[in-house]
A and B are shown apart, each in its own frame.
Chain A
């Protein structure tokens, strides 16, 4: 009788009761439901960053896959509402056969599925204070399994001219966001994704289909993709000239900075967590647009000495890699840091190295310094605040 009553009471909109049973073995549980939900106690949400972005709460996550609803978002004209039946992709320009593909057409082609990170090129809270979480510091990177069709397959279908060295990718949002992409990437590993973690891609990630360029800065992975135009030169759109270019100390500005450099981030312990004396796991994520992470080092003394972290297998190319380091905390004030080294031998730079190269006035893009967390003798963890410039 009690069980039936509980089911009836919980059968409304919020079918999954938020009230835990005192003894779950003495109350029949909830019935099957069409859509699962998180446990009532798991209050996961993205990190707010104004109207045009929100970040992944890395401090609340484990493993390497970002739940789709917590994947970061960044958009330049809001998230469009697109009818999948009306969706189409035009490919034209330097091709033998300009063609239009409906969503169903894209799904008829041979598919590929790959696990990759996606990171916004502006993913560092440069002026972050002590009360900064990993998600606030670097929440604009996430990892999903993406499914779609290789761009090389579509280029074969339209008869891409081998003399086309660039293509323009254009979105169907209010910004009609455009980027010029080297055609070489299309023949390497670019694809058009319609699936994310086994289901249709989320609206914030480009539903119903987006360009995906493994390892390359977020905005080049044009969402809500409606048009690709092949050309023999770049188009010089606003997002590759006025924006997403980085001034350097030598008086130049770098453009077409596609690949994201290696970076690591300790996600636990980190603000707002507190630490108990004794054994603790220092854990985080590392990633690189250059391929696989080869090594992550962890320091507990502010970078004076470094220790080898264990990498969680499988270590995938251009995907978040989980690292961990078992550490016995004596109660001494400590500074926890991590640094990543990728398969090319590139090592994540210090803030001083980056500043020397880029200067205090440089744009916020492609900043990947080693960052740290301060652990006080009271067990309280805060972000290691450092001035920018």
Chain B
């Protein structure tokens, strides 16, 4: 239900009664009708159907349950070389040094003291609630000097490298569409939805 509908109804009633209320000429001499398109509630027939190919060309998001992950796989060791070549310039040699976002760091291993400690970086290991977001974001927007230039295999390898550097998977793990959604993220249980009224 849209909010527009009560307003529309009010406008129709107002149009119908305005002649009577204002003592104007009979409605028949100056007929005023609401827009038939707006009143019908039916589609207006504007725009065109999207083909499956057109949708597939754009639909590359990845969800927490793994929906959207492509075929392929990656490992931490293969990801290390790609990280050094494509990512370390902004994120540091080990992902901790910056100058841009600090990506790596399992500390603190207990609790969630971000509110108390302004110096604590929000890393993938200590703050990101979903491992699938790592794949989605790298494929979506990284690296900023050539977004969209990494292959799905590159993205799987980088994701595996970063998850391992954050002590979330072992060094010999293989990350693919089946294993990525299963990676346990310690921060997840600390996230709560907004409870303010809206």
Contacts and interface: CB of A to CB of B under 8 A. Distances in A.
Interface of A: 76-77, 90-92, 97-102, 105, 108-110, 150, 152, 156-157, 159, 168, 170, 174-178, 187-189, 226-227, 229, 231, 233, 235-238, 241-242, 245, 247-259, 261, 290, 344, 358-363, 389
A233 B181 CA distance: 15
Contacts of B187: 253
5 tightest A-B contacts by CB?
A359-B115, A247-B114, A238-B137, A98-B50, A247-B115
Contacts of B112: 247, 251-253
B47 A100 contact: yes
A236 B115 contact: no
Interface in B24-60: 35, 37-38, 41, 43-44, 46-50, 54-55, 58-59
Contacts of B22: none
A258 B198 contact: yes
Contact of A256 (B128, B140, B194): B194
A229 B59 contact: yes
B109 interface: no
B120 interface: yes
A101 B46 contact: yes
B46 A152 contact: no
Given A236-B133, A251-B190, A361 B2 contact: no
A140 B190 CA distance: 29
B48 A178 contact: no
B13 interface: no
A344 B144 CA distance: 42
Interface of B: 1-4, 35, 37-38, 41, 43-44, 46-50, 54-55, 58-59, 61, 63-64, 111-120, 122, 124, 127-130, 132-133, 136-137, 140-141, 144, 147, 187, 190-194, 196-198
Contacts of A241: 128-130, 133, 191
Given A109-B46, A176-B140, A259 B130 contact: no
Nearest to A184: B198
Given A90-B54, A152-B4, A174 B147 contact: yes
B44 to A, nearest CB: 6
19 contacts: A90-B58, A152-B2, A156-B41, A157-B44, A170-B61, A175-B147, A227-B59, A236-B129, A238-B137, A242-B122, A247-B112, A252-B192, A253-B112, A253-B114, A256-B193, A359-B114, A360-B115, A361-B118, A363-B122
Given A110-B37, A241-B133, A247-B115, A255 B140 contact: no
A255 B58 contact: no
A108 B46 contact: yes
Given A187-B2, A236-B132, A361-B114, A110 B38 contact: yes
Contacts of A256: 193-194
B10 to A, nearest CB: 16
Nearest to A174: B147
B45 to A, nearest CB: 8
Nearest to B101: A242
Contacts of B55: 90, 92, 98
Contacts of B38: 110
B2 A77 contact: no
Given A248-B115, A251-B190, A105 B129 contact: no
Contacts of A235: 61, 63-64, 136
